[in-house]
Structure 1
Amino acid sequence: MPRALIAYVHFVDGMNRRIGRFAMYLLYVIMAIMVWSMVTKAFHIPALWTLEMAQFTLVAYFMLGAPWSLQTDVNVRMDLIYARFTHKGQALTDIFTVFCLMFYLGVMLYGAFDSTVYAFEMGERNPSAWRPVLWPLKSIITLAFGLMLLQSVAILIRDVATLRGEKI
């Protein structure tokens, strides 16, 4: 495999690993928000922002962790037939399915980008009592779809290397 492709795979894997490890700790942020919500409700001064902030943080946790889960191959797969294939057979199957994944991610990235631009231009806000702006959340979603697309290209490169009998 060309060195540039190997460098790309290592760069994307490293970046998604670091972002995924950061996202892993967002679970503690969600817990802190929910504890704060419980404390303020106990003193009869409930905060308006806690439920939505916990939901937004959960979206960031889920979306930023998705490229890392794609990288570590912990995504859901039907192993009834796939597990019986050789490594090259699995790589060939993965090459077919990764193109389907890349098409899907491309459509989702296009929609997320369009929605993010709209949120910036219109100053879109969530229709609630707190009324937070939505562009930060939509930007995170757009970033996550972009990272998943980059990771799927890295998976494609790795599978092609497996078919060639190489290891990345």
Structure 2
Amino acid sequence: MHFLIQCARWIDRVNEKIANAISWALMVAVLVCAGSALASYFFKLGSNAWYEIQWYLYGAMFLFTAPYTLRRNEHVRIDVITHRFSKRTQVWIDVFGFLLFLLPMAILIFYLSVPFALESIRNQEMSNNAGGLIVWPAKLMIPTGFLLLCLQGLSELIKRIGYLCGLVDASEFEKTVVTPEDEIAAIRDANLDKIKSIQSH
């Protein structure tokens, strides 16, 4: 069990690094969107490639940050009933939720999307739009994103079983940000760190 817990923590670190890296995609998407709009308005220049780049970036953000969202316990849930139960009962509900819903769904989508992506790669699929981009990188993001979600789901399952066995503290999987004020502060601090990083270079 200790080995599995170490594996779970390794998965957490990997998905956290991926999410931190892909968070820059939002800034790139905003710049591309603004640049495309300005070029179209002032110079009458436009290209479907610029629009498709934005779609790719938004797709990457959603697919590659979903595991990190699960890691932080920030996914949408309805706690009308479960918050009345003891912590152990809540953890058991999570265990059954991962086993019966999250993991089967993520594994199924991963399984179905692999041949979908491979076919696109094999055919070197291009966009149907004039001046569009190659399509297979976007399709490859689907199985990659869901593979990462499967791994994070396994990590969360291991940590909760570890908690039930008395080997893991609940702080390893409880909600990281509790209030909207904390959420805003966390976003602000992350953006300030990025600005400082840019200025240092």
Give the TM bin, normalised by the shorter chain.
Answer: over 0.9
Query: Once the 2 structures are TM-superposed, how far is the Cα of residue 38 of structure 1 from its aligned partner?
Result: 1.5
TM-score (norm 1): 0.94
The aligned counterpart of 2:182 is: none
Q: Deviations over 1:59-80 (max 9, x none)?
A: 0011111010011000000100
In 2, the alpha carbon distance for the partners of 1:163 and 1:152 equals: 17
Residue 120 of structure 1 is matched in structure 2 by 121
Match of 1:56 in 2: 56
2-structure distance, mates of 1:3, 1:16: 20
CA distance in 2, matches of 1:44, 1:125: 25
Structure 1 partner of 2:27: 28
Q: CA deviation at 1:103?
A: 0.4
Within-5 A mapping of 1:98-137: 98-99=98-99, 100-137=101-138
Residue pairs, 1:73-88, within 5 angstroms: 73-88=73-88
Structure 1 gap segments, 5+ residues each: none
Matching residue of 1:153: 154
Q: Contact (CA 8 Å) 2:107, 2:150: kept in 1 or not? A: yes
Q: State the Cα deviation string for residues 15-55 of structure 1 (Å, max 9, x = none).
A: 00111111222110100111110221121122331111111
TM-score (norm: length of structure 2): 0.79
Q: Which segments of 5 or more consecutive residues in structure 2 lack a partner in the other structure?
A: 170-201
SS of equivalent residue, structure 1 residue 76: coil
Q: Answer whether contact 2:48 2:132 (CA < 8 A) is retained.
A: no
Count how many residue pairs are aligned between Structure 1 and Structure 2. 167
Q: Which secondary structure state, in structure 2, belongs to the residue aligned with residue 80 of structure 1? A: coil
4+ runs deviating over 3 angstroms: none
The answer as to whether partners of 2:47 and 2:131 remain within 8 angstroms in 1 is no
